Structure 1
Amino acid sequence: MKLRPSATTFCSRSRPPHNLRVLLLLSLLLAALVPTTTGQSHVKDPYLEMRCVCLNSVSGIHPNGISTLELIRPGAHCDKVELIATLKVGKKICLDPTALGVKKIVMKLLEGS
């Protein structure tokens, strides 16, 4: 069994073997598909995961505990509106956007800003 290719099989002027070209193309494709890790644990783009972010929703919370609200519109990733509240302690929770108490909180926060 020969481990070295012969000069007729592969030389510097000839094209690389077909398998090598396919492997190179596959590795470039995989490198483009896999996101790079930058140390951030939370994905900013909700469309990247292609699924709903909120699995469970809370129907009421005290508005003084909320620091920011994030609204994610329905799309290909999820068929419902998602409302994510970041609390002042740093925790993120999902709010039910159809609940009357949550609608009042959103209106109160919009009036304040």
Structure 2
Amino acid sequence: MKKSSIITLSVLIFLTFPTISEGMSLRSLGVELHCRCIQTESRPIGRHIEKVELIPANSHCEETEIIATLKKNGQEVCLDPEALWVKKIIQRIMSNKKR
């Protein structure tokens, strides 16, 4: 291998490392760089929900995401924001916050 190739490879590795570590540190801080929900649940599962997380649309995801954590196993389920029962849950949460 030529000396210039080794130098080029070293520079490339040096420049790539901060990019990789920056992405890792953002993820460790809880910053998502894409939408979390691939598909959503529209069937009523209200009685199985322990908590609900509302993630507003942002620069990394154009959709508002509603993620429910289930009581039984802690599994996270993405809810359909257009489902009537989900809208009612969100209204209830929002009215409780105003008090």
TM tier relative to shorter chain: 0.5 to 0.7
Displacement after TM superposition at 1:95 (Å): 0.6
Distance 1:84 1:96 in 2: 9
Structure 1 residues 75 and 109 mapped into 2: Cα distance closer, same or farther (>3 Å)?
closer
Structure 1 residues 110 and 66 mapped into 2: Cα distance closer, same or farther (>3 Å)?
farther
1:34 maps to a residue whose letter is I
TM-score by length of structure 2 reads 0.66
Question: Any unmatched runs of 5+ in structure 1?
Answer: 1-16
Moved over 6 A (4+): none
Matched, 1:68 2:51: yes
1:22 maps to a residue whose letter is T
Partner of 1:92: 76
Partner of 2:31: 45
The match for 1:55 among 31, 38, 44 is 38
1:11-37 CA distance string (max 9 Å, x none): xxxxxx433332222112222233587
- Give secondary structure in 1 for the equivalent of 2:78: strand
1:57 maps to a residue whose letter is T
Which one has a larger percent helix, Structure 1 or Structure 2? Answer: 2
Displacement after TM superposition at 1:43 (Å): 8.5
User: What is the total number of aligned residue pairs between the two structures?
Assistant: 90
Q: Percent identity?
A: 34
The match for 1:29 among 6, 11, 15 is 15
Question: Any unmatched runs of 5+ in structure 2?
Answer: none
Structure exhibiting the larger radius of gyration computed from Cα positions: 1
